[in-house]
């Protein structure tokens, strides 16, 4: 009695049974599909949403999350950079929220300013260059590499020769993007120059300009006085409503209280990089005295500086500090203060001569020049700036405006970038694909030759030892490949075959299971076919090829597929017997990739690795579905 009979299907019990079965099928399907969806979603993650496991990544439907990902990308996954540039105190990118309402305000002016002001390249950093947490290749870095390739060709050695870099492969080409502090000085190498040229061509909305206000508060005031403004007010005798009201004054004298002036001087002298400081003429005499004390004679100075002044009085004050050299270190020491070891006299740029030279102040100057007065500016934009210093950089709104206009492109970028990372990685590793193709091809070929020949012999000729041979083949199936790996390795080493295709193919050429399967299949072919062919005058070889093999196509397809997936997925053994990088297969390369890239890149690499097998299954499904059916003539 069958469980589901062909009659009585309308009975409620049968219907309930059907419903139950479908329910199980659906649950089963869901448990198959859901992890795959998680994989797909995982491959689109970056640091900010990495910990959320969802079938559909939230940034696809939630603009806030897309914004967070974008901001994270723009600030190269550095929260401190964001907080400084935006003058905020966010604790994580996860908590970053888009600005409420985007005021047109000074955005237009800002756009004009950054395109006209010709700020030095160290004034800003570019986004999407560095992903230290996600460990992927963001769009900016990708474009930079592309740039280098256009310039120097696809050979990384060319790049190294031309720029004196030491990149071993394209994959290690990266940019160590760090906030510009006193320790991280702008560099004068050819590579950084190339990079700066590139940076200038990137979208303006991917840049973040160094905000000295933010830097001052974030790196100096807040660590000293805490996040609460009351603390600050108490210490300084001021009455600020919030830290937002505090600005880094242009000059020391512009500060309200003595304590504030003291902070300013400390900060400017000791923390601020000299690029952001200008020293005014009043300091010239002191400077000359300082140089004389330090270098003794003008000849020494000329020798050290590579200049030809005839007297110290001729040496001018430095405007924009040089990138390298003794002049820079002397200049730095002059700003910090230098004590002559002999006379114990302190040489130092007078505090009143120090002036902040920052993007903020340049912008404020730009606005003042354009509008003439603060009142005019306020009137024009309906703003209420009390002082020029109150004007901040509208970077956050600027970024947000760009974000609103490019949400679609951003989504596409986030969905595809890890895949592009993997693809580029594979492409730039010359022989990974070629090796895999050769290996898989040879593996399939040998599997289709050796196994059928062995099975044919066992099936056609009833030897007395057939049973024992089959038993032996069965025994080979009992050992997992891990057990045979090391002995195989040792044997191949004895034969001096390591790092050859032979090492990859020989051990797996004959497969006990395949022989077993084929023998059973060949046995099931009618004996009369062979006899008929013999009567027709066919040689053994003809019978094997034109009859047995031709009739076994479905099962041969199954075996070929097995050989392909075996070879394709073979990682450990391929790695063990071919340790030479030239012989690495795709899987070994991908394993290496997973070591140096992040989790989401790993997901993407796994999905890409699954594609060839998937495509083959797709194309072979007919032949596989036909399956292991004996061609019956009855």
Partner 1 sequence: MAEVILDHVWKSYAGNLWAVKDFNLTIKDKEFMVFVGPSGCGKSTTLRMVAGLEEISKGSISIAGRVVNNVPPKDRDIAMVFQNYALYPHMTVYDNMAFGLKLRKYKRSDIESRVREAADILGITDYLHRKPKALSGGQRQRVAVGRAIVRKPKVFLFDEPLSNLDAKMRVQMRAEISKLHVRLEATMIYVTHDQVEAMTMGDRIVVMKDGIVLQVATPLDLYENPANLFVAGFIGTPPMNLFEGVIRRGADGWFFDGETLQVALLPKMQAELGIYVDKKVVMGMRPEHVGSPLAENTAGAPKITARVDVVEPMGAETYLYMKAGRHNFIAKIDPHRRCAMGDELQLAIMNAKAHFFDPATTSLIV
Longest dimension (CA), the chain: 118
Q: Which is nearer to partner 1, 202 or 549 (CB)?
A: 549
Task: Determine, following the binding rule CB under 8 A, whether residue 319 of this chain makes contact with partner 1.
Answer: no
Among 551, 557, 572, 610, binds partner 1 (CB under 8 A): 551
Q: How far is the CB of 452 from partner 1 (least distance, A)?
A: 16
Taking contact as CB under 8 A, which single stretch among the options 222-230, 300-308, 490-498, 525-533 is the one that binds partner 1?
525-533
Count of residues in contact with partner 1, rule CB under 8 A:
18
Please, is 629 exposed, middle or buried when counting C-beta atoms within 10 Å of its C-beta (0-12, 13-18, 19+)? exposed
Q: How far is the CB of 29 from partner 1 (least distance, A)?
A: 35
Residue 426 CA to residue 585 CA, distance in Å, equals 10
Residue closer to partner 1, measured from CB, 50 or 533: 533
- Select from 57-65, 438-446, 478-486, 543-551 the region that touches partner 1 (CB under 8 A): 543-551
Least Å from the CB of residue 554 to partner 1? 11
User: Reduced to 3 states, what is the DSSP secondary structure of residue 346?
Assistant: strand
> For partner 1, which is the closer residue by CB, 342 or 633?
633
- Run of H or E residues at 492: helix 481-494
CB of 547 to partner 1, least distance (A): 6
**Residue 164: CB atoms within 10 Å:** 10
Quick check: 537 binds partner 1 (CB under 8 A)? yes
- 557 touches partner 1 by CB under 8 A: no
Rank residues 196 and 542 by Cβ distance to partner 1 and give the closer one.
542
b/e burial code for range 571-597 (CB count within 10 A of at least 16 → b): eebbbbbbeeeebbbbbbbbbbbbeeb
Q: How far is CA 342 from CA 120, 293, 294, 558, in A?
A: 39, 9, 10, 89
Segment near partner 1 (CB under 8 A), from 445-453, 513-521, 534-542, 604-612? 534-542
CB of 632 to partner 1, least distance (A): 8
CB of 552 to partner 1, least distance (A): 10
Q: How many of the other CB atoms lie within 10 Å of CB of 136?
A: 23
Q: Which residue's CB is nearer to partner 1, number 231 or number 528?
A: 528
482 touches partner 1 (CB under 8 A): no
- Residue list 40-99, contact with partner 1 (CB under 8 A): none
- Residue 634 lies near partner 1 (rule: CB under 8 A): yes
Shortest distance (Å) from residue 542 CB to partner 1: 7
Cβ nearer to partner 1, comparing 1 with 625: 625
* Member of 531, 545, 614, 617 binding partner 1 (CB under 8 A): 531
Cβ 527 to partner 1, closest distance in Å?
Answer: 9
User: Judged by CB under 8 A, which of 427, 449, 550, 628 binds partner 1?
Assistant: 550
538 touches partner 1 (CB under 8 A): yes
At its nearest, how many Å lie between partner 1 and the CB of residue 472?
Answer: 26
In 296-405, which residue ranges form alpha helices assigned H by DSSP? 298-305, 326-336, 359-371, 374-381, 395-405
Binding range to partner 1, per CB under 8 A, among 348-356, 387-395, 536-544, 608-616:
536-544
Dihedral of CA atoms 182, 187, 193, 195 in degrees, nearest 10, equals -60
Nearer to partner 1, 421 or 548 (CB): 548
Q: Does 470 bind partner 1 (CB under 8 A)?
A: no
Considering only residues 150, 535, 611, 625, which one is a binding residue for partner 1 as defined by CB under 8 A? 535
Report in angstroms how near the CB of residue 532 gets to partner 1 at its nearest: 4
Cβ 555 to partner 1 shortest distance, Å: 14
Q: In this structure, what token pair is assigned to residue 344? A: 């114990």
Q: In sequence order, what DSSP letters do the residues of 574-626 get, joined into one string?
A: HHHH--SGGG--HHHHHHHHHHHS-HHHHHHHHHHHHHHHHHHHHHHHHHHHH
Q: Which is nearer to partner 1, 239 or 634 (CB)?
A: 634
Contact of 276 with 216, CB cutoff 8 Å = no
| Candidate segments 28-36, 136-144, 251-259, 521-529, binder of partner 1 by CB under 8 A | 521-529
Cβ-based nearer residue to partner 1, 353 or 552: 552
Among 441, 526, 566, 612, binds partner 1 (CB under 8 A): 526
Q: Using an 8 Å Cβ cutoff, are 49 and 65 in contact? A: yes
633 binds partner 1 (CB under 8 A): yes
Asked if residues 167 and 160 have their Cβ atoms less than 8 Å apart, the reply is yes
Strand partners, 279: 354
**Whole-number Å distance between alpha carbons of 130 and 43:** 18
Smallest separation, CB 168 to partner 1 (Å): 54
For partner 1, the binding residue among 453, 533, 557, 576 (CB under 8 A) is 533
Q: Which residue has the tokens 């479905």?
A: 554
Quote the CA–CA distance of 122 and 458 in Å, as a whole number: 76
Q: Determine the interface stretch with partner 1 among 62-70, 249-257, 533-541, 607-615 (rule: CB under 8 A).
A: 533-541
Bridge partners of residue 529, in order along the sequence: none
> Which residues, including other chains, have CB under 8 Å from residue 616's CB and lie 6 or more apart?
561, 564
Selected range binding partner 1 among 7-15, 151-159, 266-274, 546-554, rule: CB under 8 A: 546-554
90 vs 374: CA distance, rounded Å = 31
Decide whether 334 or 530 has the Cβ nearer to partner 1. 530
Cβ burial 234-243 (10 Å sphere, 16+ → b, else e): ebbebeeeeb
Provide the 3-class DSSP secondary structure of residue 278.
strand
Q: Which is nearer to partner 1, 509 or 551 (CB)?
A: 551
Binder among 536, 579, 627, 628 for partner 1 (CB under 8 A):
536
Residues in 247-276 at the binding interface with partner 1, rule: CB under 8 A: none
Site residues for partner 1, 612-631, by CB under 8 A, read 631
Structure tokens at 47: 């640091």
Q: Taking the CA of residue 496 as centre, how many other CA atoms within 13 Å lie in the half-sphere pointing to its CB?
A: 0
Q: Contact between 201 and partner 1 (CB under 8 A)? A: no
CA nearest 360: which of 264, 250, 263? 250
CA distance 567 to 545: 25
Interface residues toward partner 1, by CB under 8 A? 526, 528-529, 531-538, 542, 547, 550-551, 631, 633-634
């Amino acid at each position: 009695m069958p469980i589901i009979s062909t009659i009585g299907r309308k009975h409620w019990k049968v219907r309930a049974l059907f419903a139950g079965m479908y329910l199980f099928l659906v649950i089963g399907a869901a448990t198959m599909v859901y992890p795959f969806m998680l994989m797909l979603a995982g491959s689109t993650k970056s640091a900010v949403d990495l910990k959320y496991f969802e079938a559909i990544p939230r940034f696809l439907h939630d603009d806030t999350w897309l914004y967070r990902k974008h901001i994270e990308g723009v600030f190269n996954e550095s929260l401190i950079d964001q907080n400084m540039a935006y003058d905020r105190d966010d604790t994580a990118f996860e908590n970053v929220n888009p600005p409420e309402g985007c005021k047109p305000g000074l955005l237009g002016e800002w756009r004009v300013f950054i395109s006209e002001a010709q700020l030095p390249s160290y004034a800003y950093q570019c986004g999407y260059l560095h992903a230290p947490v996600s460990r992927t290749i963001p769009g900016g870095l990708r474009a930079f590499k592309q740039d280098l390739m256009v310039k120097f060709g696809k050979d990384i050695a060319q790049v190294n020769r031309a720029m004196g870099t030491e990149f071993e492969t394209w994959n290690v080409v990266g940019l160590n993007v760090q906030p510009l502090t006193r320790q991280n000085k702008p560099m004068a190498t050819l590579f950084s120059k190339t990079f700066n040229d590139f940076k200038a061509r990137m979208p303006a909305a991917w840049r973040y300009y160094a905000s000295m206000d933010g830097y001052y508060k974030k790196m100096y005031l807040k660590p000293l006085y805490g996040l609460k403004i009351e603390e600050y007010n108490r210490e300084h005798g001021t009455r600020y409503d919030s830290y937002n009201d505090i600005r880094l004054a242009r000059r020391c004298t512009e500060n309200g209280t003595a304590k504030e002036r003291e902070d300013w001087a400390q900060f400017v002298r000791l923390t601020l990089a000299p690029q952001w400081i200008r020293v005014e003429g009043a300091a010239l005499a002191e400077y000359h005295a300082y140089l004389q004390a330090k270098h003794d004679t003008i000849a020494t100075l000329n020798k050290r500086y590579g200049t030809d002044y005839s007297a110290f009085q001729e040496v001018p004050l430095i405007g924009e500090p040089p990138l390298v050299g003794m002049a820079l270190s002397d200049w730095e020491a002059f700003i910090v203060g230098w004590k002559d070891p002999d006379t114990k006299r302190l040489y130092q740029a007078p505090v009143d001569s120090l002036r902040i030279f920052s993007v903020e102040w340049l912008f404020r100057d730009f606005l003042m020049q354009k509008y003439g007065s603060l009142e005019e500016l306020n009137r024009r934009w309906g703003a209420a700036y009390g002082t020029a210093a109150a004007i901040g950089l509208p970077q956050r709104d600027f970024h947000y405006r760009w974000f609103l206009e490019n949400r679609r492109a951003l989504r596409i970028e986030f969905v595809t970038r890890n895949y592009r990372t993997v693809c580029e990685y594979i492409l730039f590793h010359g022989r990974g694909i070629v090796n895999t193709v050769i290996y898989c091809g040879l593996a399939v070929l040998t599997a289709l030759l050796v196994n059928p020949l062995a099975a044919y012999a066992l099936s056609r000729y009833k030897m007395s030892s057939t049973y024992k041979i089959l038993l032996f083949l069965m025994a080979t199936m009992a050992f997992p490949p891990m057990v045979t790996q090391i002995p195989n390795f040792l044997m191949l080493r004895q034969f001096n075959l390591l790092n050859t295709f032979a090492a990859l193919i020989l051990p797996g050429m004959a497969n006990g299971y395949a022989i077993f399967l084929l023998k059973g299949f060949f046995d099931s072919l009618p004996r009369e076919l062979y006899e008929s062919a013999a009567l027709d005058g066919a040689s053994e070889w003809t019978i094997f090829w034109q009859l047995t093999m031709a009739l076994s196509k479905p099962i041969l397809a199954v075996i070929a597929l097995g050989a392909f997936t075996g070879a394709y997925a073979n990682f450990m053994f391929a790695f063990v017997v071919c340790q030479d990088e030239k012989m690495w297969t795709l899987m070994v390369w991908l394993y290496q990739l997973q070591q140096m890239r992040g989790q989401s890149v790993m997901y993407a690499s796994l999905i890409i690795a699954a594609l060839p097998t998937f495509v083959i299954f797709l194309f072979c499904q007919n032949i596989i579905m036909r399956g292991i059916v004996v061609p019956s003539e009855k």
